Amino acid sequence: MDLGSNEGKIITFLDSFATSTQINNSEAQVNKIFAQNPFYGYLASAIGLKLAKILNLTEMFGLWLARFFNLLMYAAFAYVAIKKALILKMPL
């Protein structure tokens, strides 16, 4: 992106390439950083990304959906933890 052509303009995330790039099926080889991470920690993000792909959304909105599903999973775990707590439910 040429920043000189945007002089004097307000640039937002909607002007970035990520909002106009479609999700594709191209394969890429990625080295594992943490091989010991279990797969189920990524299931909520995968559901959000799959939903974005089904709805034919851009990459930016796919990332937002993935983060939103992570938030839903966190809220569900917190809800179950509070319900299972035997004591101190009110402070939780």
Hey, where are the domains in the chain? 4-24+38-84
Exposed e or buried b per residue across 52-73, where buried means at least 16 C-beta atoms within 10 angstroms of its C-beta: beeeebbbbbbbebbeebbeeb
The pLDDT of residue 15: 65
Q: Are 46 and 71 in contact (CB under 8 A)?
A: no
Whole-model pTM? 0.60
53 near 62, Cβ under 8 Å? yes
Listed residue (45, 54, 59) closest to 17, CA to CA: 59
**For position 50, what pLDDT does the model report?**
93
Residue 5 confidence (pLDDT): 61
Give the pLDDT of residue 85.
Answer: 85
**Tens-binned pLDDT, residue by residue, of the chain (92 aa):** 455 565 666 666 666 666 666 777 777 776 766 667 777 888 999 999 999 999 998 888 999 999 999 999 999 999 998 888 888 777 76
